[in-house]
Amino acid sequence: MIVKEAIQLFNTEVLDYLERDAEIPTITRAGAQGDVSILRVTKDDAVKPVAKAGIAVIRGENGGNTHSLHGNGPIFWDAAPERDGSLLLGRLTVPAESEAVLAHPEHGFLAIAPGTYEIGRQREYRGEWALVAD
């Protein structure tokens, strides 16, 4: 899939500087998009279906630039309970016949191959541990 196809398929716009004919990379084990990390796991599958419109995984610090998950076919998302200090946002399961796409206006799209993944926040050490700001 290329960027302009994802824009149409998921009705999600990205910033103009992103090349519309660029191929979208696919994660099969681990990856990151801005302040979000994706790691394939061998844990129970997620069970809550994601609606065709997609679901916000995390909203930008200033209210915009949301990271959202969309399915090209059925996908499943179980949000993690909010706990102090936890970086885990939730678990994503992509069945064999589907593909998930993580979208963000500044970063574009990142395809996620079939499997079960934990999606979380990233942090960095700047004299002390802090969440990566996106």
Letter string b/e over residues 71-84, b meaning 16 or more CB atoms within 10 A of that residue's CB: bbeebbbeeeeeee
C-alpha span between 7 and 4 (Å, rounded): 5
Paired with 116 in beta bridges are: 93
Mean pLDDT for the chain overall = 90
- Alpha-carbon torsion angle 19, 21, 22, 24, nearest 10: 120
pLDDT in tens, 56-91: 998 765 556 789 999 999 999 999 998 877 889 999
Verdict on whether the full-model pTM lies above 0.75:
yes
> Rounded CA gap, 126 and 65, in Å?
23
